[in-house]
Chain A
């Protein structure tokens, strides 16, 4: 069961990374990035490292995404007349 879960998480991580690079809308990229952070959290948890998983959840999906969302809002405000 656990190896299957690890492989599924790795595949979804790959999908999220590819989506973060190639999606046309920057907002979708930011969402994929947050999904990547969430997937990494699950992966660390599966490898029985709950401390690292908690840090990844807080930093990857929290603070990192906040920085990207703020950058997104700044640039969008500039583009609109």
Chain B
């Protein structure tokens, strides 16, 4: 009891200390760099001029900071690689339930969730969302199938790996093409279109399509490895 009270007190103190530190840090940042308030407006101004993309967050993530997105995707690939190496011999499914209600529900919901994910990916430059979020939503549809069917559902590993590697290669190719034809990596090499339509943004939409396909395949593989983990 005494130990527990001490533990609770130490947790409370740590939380207080961390919040004081965060507030102090934020205050210092604000004092040191006053022009930080104007970055958002400057970005919005540049975005309205140079890209025909309605969602400014998307143009920052894929156009102004395309190289960062490439690095992020490769980090994700490396982590999936590590999980696949660690959990090699997957034989047993953790979710062995064979519930008829869940199976019928999964059958009804699977295409709807995939459709929603595809919508999030393809409208990433118009509305909130994008390749990463839509890809994980598509992967969650596969997780639902794993839950419902247990050992009787096995998505084609060859197809998943193929789509993952093809989209990764396409992403790198797009960056290199921008470097060759334009002035920098992920430079705009396609026509921009008009703002607000589905086929606007040029390269930005293609980047999100590749990222979405890659993330969906990777997350499906990851959840498959986790769920069918071997008994350690």
Contacts and interface: CB of A to CB of B under 8 A. Distances in A.
A79 interface: no
B133 A55 contact: yes
A51 B57 contact: yes
B232 A74 contact: yes
Contacts of A62: 136, 140
Nearest to B120: A54
Nearest to A67: B226
Contact of B94 (A21, A58, A67, A74): A74
Is chain B's binding surface mostly helix, strand, loop or mixed? helix
Contacts of A70: 94, 226-227, 229
A50 to B, nearest CB: 4
B136 A58 contact: yes
Interface in A9-28: 21-22
A77 B231 contact: yes
B143 interface: yes
A76 B106 CA distance: 26
A54 B229 contact: no
A59 interface: yes
21 contacts: A21-B11, A51-B57, A51-B129, A51-B130, A53-B128, A54-B133, A55-B132, A58-B137, A58-B140, A62-B136, A62-B140, A63-B223, A66-B223, A66-B226, A67-B226, A70-B94, A70-B226, A73-B95, A74-B229, A77-B94, A77-B231
Interface of A: 21-22, 50-51, 53-55, 58-59, 62-63, 66-67, 70, 73-74, 77
Interface size grouping (class) on chain B: 20 to 34
B219 interface: yes
A67 B222 CA distance: 10
A66 B132 contact: no
Nearest to B92: A77
Q: Is the interface of A mostly helix, strand, loop or mixed?
A: helix
Nearest to B130: A51
A63 B143 CA distance: 10
Q: Residue among B57, B95, B128, B231 with the most chain A CB within 10 A?
A: B128
Interface centre among A21, A50, A70 (most CB of B within 10 A): A70
A62 to B, nearest CB: 6
A66 B94 contact: no
Interface in B182-232: 219, 223, 226-227, 229, 231-232
A54 B231 contact: no
